[in-house]
């Protein structure tokens, strides 16, 4: 079983925020691969969709509590692989990096997941949101701002590439995917 978790904050207010890039990527992946519509799962605190042996999850507990959802899903699926897709202010906008067994680097959603389920075998797709001029002085307010029109073009391309990498990962495994996409 493969669990792909997109991180973000629930609600229309946050829909287009930088912090919701994980949600955006999972939504695009679901559409591209003809998944059924997401359905609420109260027991997981998420919206979920499933196709074959892949479950897509968007926690609905706000970013900093994402670990609660992942822990509940992990408890039900003992033989699984977890992939987390999230925004990363340490990477330039338009880039992404695939990592495994790494620390949170200060990302509160990832930190919540690591505290809840540990870090063993967690694969992360880190999607860059860093502004052109380098790191924002106030990252907490920066991540809840919407992308500009100019940035959205870059974001759309990044989401497409991320989806391609996810498809490649599903077919070819982690090592080949990292070798192809981590440049």
Closest CA to 177 of 64, 100, 116: 100
Residue with tokens 């699926």: 77
Closest CA to 121 of 179, 174, 159: 174
Spell out the residues 6+ positions from residue 65 whose beta carbon is closer than 8 angstroms to its own. Answer: 59, 112
Segments in 16-91 forming alpha helices (H): 21-32, 66-76
CA atoms within 13 A on the CB side of 99: 14
19 is a catalytic site residue:
yes
CA atoms within 13 A on the CB side of 91: 21
Catalytic member of 19, 44, 86, 107 = 19
Catalytic residues: 19
């Amino acid at each position: 079983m493969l669990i792909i978790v997109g991180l973000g904050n629930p609600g229309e207010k946050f829909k287009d925020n930088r912090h919701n890039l994980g949600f955006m990527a999972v939504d695009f992946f679901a559409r591209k691969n003809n998944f059924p519509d997401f359905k609420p799962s109260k027991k997981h605190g998420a919206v979920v969709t499933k196709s074959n042996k892949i479950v897509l999850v968007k926690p609905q507990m706000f970013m900093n509590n994402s670990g609660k959802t992942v822990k509940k899903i992990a408890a039900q699926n003992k033989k699984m692989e977890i992939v987390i897709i999230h925004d990363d202010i340490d990477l330039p906008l338009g880039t992404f990096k695939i990592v495994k067994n790494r620390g949170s680097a200060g990302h509160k959603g990832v930190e919540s997941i690591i505290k809840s389920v540990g870090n063993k075998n967690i694969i992360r797709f880190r999607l860059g949101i860093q502004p052109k001029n380098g790191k924002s002085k106030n990252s907490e307010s920066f991540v809840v701002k919407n992308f500009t029109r100019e940035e959205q073009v870059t974001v759309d391309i990044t989401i497409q590439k991320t989806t391609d990498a996810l498809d490649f990962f599903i077919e070819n495994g982690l090592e080949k995917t990292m070798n192809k996409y981590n440049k």
